[in-house]
Every structure is written in C-alpha cells, then in structure tokens.
Structure 1
C-alpha cells in the first residue's frame, strides 16, 4: 500500500505593503512578475495550519526585517513571522554583482562565457534560496522552487532605480 501524498498549502495572493516603497516602472514590473510566478506555483505550509489550506501573504519591512503577515483565504490572521535580512545581505550583493556581469556578458562575451556566468548566477540564487529555507524551517514549509521564487522577490525588493 502506497502512502497518499499530503496536500500542501498554497499562496493565492501576495501583496507588498507600502513600507516596501515604490520603485521605477521597470522594477515595479519585475516585482509584479516575481509575484505572478510565486502565485502560479508554490508550496506554502505555515506550521500548525490545516493541510491543503490557501493563504494570503503580505510582505512588509520593519527595522530592516522582512515581515511575513500570513492570512487565510478569507483574510483572517494566521501567523506573522519576522525575518532579519542580515543573513541575506551578502548573497543578495553577490547575486546583484553576478547579474550585472551576466547582462554585460550578453552584449560581448562568447556563449560559453555567458553559460559559465549563468551557472554561477544560478548557484548564488540557490544559496540564497537555501538560506531562506533554513530561516523558515519550523515556521513555514516551502519546497526549493517556492524558496527560489520567494528569494527572487526578496532580491527584487532590494533593487534600486
């Protein structure tokens, strides 16, 4: 007899609080794309929440911390988690640097050089995603793909004009 897979929770809405601030139209577009990708496919299981539940997530910033305000589908509060952004500073900085290198390489480098830079970029992105999974452990269950999408959103929140 096979085990029946446990239904996973899912984000159905992600909102950025006004504390995140407004950005240039290009950055706002990237934020919208990151949110769309996250909602399209995710696994989101706050500790103690019912199996297979749907959630709304509101992200805000407070004292250089990222606030996860999690609500059920009807909007009732479920839990709030506050994560320090300090453990992400270095990996976000490295990610931005390698992204700059990647976009510069697209203009002038050979395909093999571009591929090598892109592999490094994906590696740093995976490191940030793993850091996020580690920071959420015991609070919110996410799979690697969801952690990657959340990390992308965290990075987009740091982009400057």
Structure 2
C-alpha cells in the first residue's frame, strides 16, 4: 500500500449541520471506506500517511492536512460545486423518501440519477484539487460524500 494515503478523517463538528440517520450513516461509511482504501497525495509532500480535517469556513471548503514533516491547508471556493451539491442533496432526499415506499422501478431510476450526480461531483472535486492534492476517482467519490455533509443546511 502506498504511503500517500489517508489514515484518518475528521469533519469539523462546528461545520456540520444536524442530520438524519441516513446521512449520518453515509458519513460514517464514507470515512470508513476512505481510510480502508484511498490514494491521496498532497503536492509537495514527500511521504504519508496523512490525517485530514475537513471544514466549511466562510463559504470555502477547507482541507487541513497533516503528515510526517508536512502540514498544509487548502481552501476551495464552494461556488463551482454549489449546483451539483444542491442537485445531489435533492436527489438523495428523494431517494430516501422513495426507499420508504415499494416502487422498485422508481427507486432504480432515482438511484441511477443519484450515482450520476455523485460521479459528476467527484470529478468536479478532483479537478478543483488538481495541482494541490492528487486523488483517485474512488477517493474523490467518498470525499464528495463528505463535502455534501458539510454543505447541508
């Protein structure tokens, strides 16, 4: 396993809004999955592993990274991510609502849209981090899940 990886992730409690059981479960699963398998290499870092603290500060997404002999904070404007995040949150809310019903066809259709928006958000996040942090697609997907957790109002 590469040394350039995350071994811990913390979401700033002050940045987190109240959430449902489904959203809280998604956060825990995303953090667990990232820590289990990820590719995360901050520019200028010689070796990992790294600890990441994510927060939302003044409309910016902040990544505080610490590793052996390395600390760095990256702030990204949320503006380019706002639309895909809002659309993703809306479709997730619809998905959770439909799950309570029994219309399998509707569940599958909404889930396909949800996965498509999730991939779009992950690719946008990955491109916004380009030159700052090198991540793979699966790490970007899971980080996008955590970004939406910080964004929810």
TM value normalised by structure 2: 0.86
Matched residues, number: 152
Point out where structure 2 has 5 or more consecutive residues left out of the alignment: none
Give the root-mean-square deviation of aligned CA atoms.
2.3
Distance in 2 (alpha carbons) for counterparts of 1:25 and 1:97: 14
How far apart, in 1, do the equivalents of 2:100 and 2:53 lie?
A: 37
Tell me by how many angstroms 1:18 deviates: 4.2
Q: Against the structure 1 CA distance between its residues 65 and 81, is the aligned structure 2 distance closer, same or farther, given a 3 Å change threshold?
A: same
The 8 Å contact of residues 44 and 140 in structure 1, kept in 2 or not, is answered as: yes
Taking the aligned partners of 1:39 and 1:143, their CA distance within structure 2 comes to 13
Q: Deviations over 1:100-150 (max 9, x none)?
A: 222233334532332121111100000000000000111101000000000
Deviations for 1:71-107, whole angstroms, at most 9, x for unmatched residues?
Answer: 115xx54221111111111111111111122223333
Which of 35, 47, 57 matches 2:43? 47
Q: Which has the higher contact order (CA 8 A, sep 6+)?
A: 2
1:121 aligns with 2:122: no
Question: Runs of 5+ in structure 1 lacking a partner?
Answer: 1-5
- Which protein shows a greater Rg? 1
What residue is the counterpart of 1:143 in the other structure?
136
Alpha-carbon spacing, 1:18–1:105, altered in 2? closer, same or farther (3 Å) = closer
Residue 20 of structure 1 and its aligned partner are, at CA, apart by 1.2
Where does 1:84-99 land on structure 2 (aligned, <5 Å)? Answer: 84-99=77-92
Contact kept? 2:4, 2:50, Cα under 8 Å:
yes
Structure 1 residues 105 and 21, CA gap change in structure 2 (3 angstroms): closer
